[in-house]
Amino acid sequence: MTIDATSILHRIAGTLEARKGADPSSSYVAKLLSDGQDAILRKIGEESVETLLASKSGDRLHLVRETADLWFHCLVMLAYHGLGPDDVLAELHRREGISGIDEKASRSRG
């Protein structure tokens, strides 16, 4: 099975944008966005810990599911800031083929 990751990310981002104007009592995303950045960041922290624990457990399915939760909430955070998956994908594209050591050093100089 071939998965078009970019298409999936764009569909999710579109749904998140549509939820920005939704009633917080009828949409989890609308509630999270209306609760503000701190609520979103708490959720990312929670999902990060759950992802780490899933990794340590060695349960691959649990790890995949927790990583999906983490990625989803990171997309919510990006939407909160008016950003989307293309912004992150462009940065990954920029870094492709650059040594991680060199890329990190360039950030401390700039």
74-104 pLDDT, tens digit each: 999 999 999 999 999 999 999 998 887 877 7
> Each residue of 11-25: b (16+ CB within 10 Å) or e?
ebbeebeebeeeeee
Q: Does domain 11-83 have CATH number 1.10.287.1080?
A: yes
What are the tens digits of pLDDT across the range 32-68?
999 999 999 999 999 999 999 999 999 999 999 999 9
CA 8 from chain centre, in angstroms, equals: 13
Residue 110: predicted pLDDT: 55
Q: Would you kindly state where each structural domain of the chain is located, as residue ranges?
A: 11-83
**CA torsion sign, 26 to 29 to 30 to 36?**
positive
